[in-house]
Structure 1
Amino acid sequence: MLRRTCKEVAALLVAREDRELSAVDRLALRLHLAACKACPDFERQILTMRNAFARWRNYQEGD
């Protein structure tokens, strides 16, 4: 089944940070994100946090 709830999609978005999703989960995620108004905002927030943490990890004093 490809239909996912917002709660399920949020879990997939978080899980995607740690592991590769299955093809079915990737397709379900893409379909949900295309139809939902709220979940793409949550996805952007996760990406913003990932980028901020990456910059923080790579920060060297004096930069």
Structure 2
Amino acid sequence: MRFLLSCKQAHQMVSEGMDRRLPFSARTRLQLHLSMCKACTNFNQQMQSLRQAMRELPRHLGSDQRQDPP
């Protein structure tokens, strides 16, 4: 098994890490990749931002008092 991840593998691990806790070895490999790859670091930050926005969406929808135009 190669220790260094490809960007494709890193993207997959970022996505999987959103749903479950990755094993220590996988987290370590991902962190190493992210420390060297700005593109994957940006992808990780975008995924975190998207996840946070989705968590806040129900709160915003519940307070939305707009009415549909006639």
Judge same fold: TM > 0.5, yes or no.
yes
* C-alpha distance after superposition, 1:19-45 (max 9, x if no partner): 110001000000000011210000011
Cα distance in 1 for partners of 2:64, 2:5 equals 46
% identical equivalent positions: 29
What is the TM-score when the length of structure 1 is the normalising length?
Answer: 0.89
Greater helix share, 1 or 2?
A: 2
- Radius of gyration: which is bigger? 2
Query: Are positions 1:61 and 2:33 aligned together?
Result: no
8 Å contact kept, 1:2–1:24: no
May I ask how many residue pairs the two structures share in their alignment? 63
Higher relative contact order (CA 8 A, sep 6+): 1
What is the TM-score when the length of structure 2 is the normalising length?
Answer: 0.80
Structure 2 unaligned blocks of 5 or more: 66-70
What is residue 53 of structure 2 aligned with on the other side?
52
Cα distance in 1 for partners of 2:8, 2:64 equals 42
Shift of the 62–38 alpha-carbon distance from structure 1 to 2, 3 Å rule, reads closer
Provide the secondary structure at the position in 2 that maps to 1:11.
helix
Cα distance in 1 for partners of 2:41, 2:57 equals 24
Structure 1 unaligned blocks of 5 or more: none
Root mean square deviation, CA, Å: 1.6
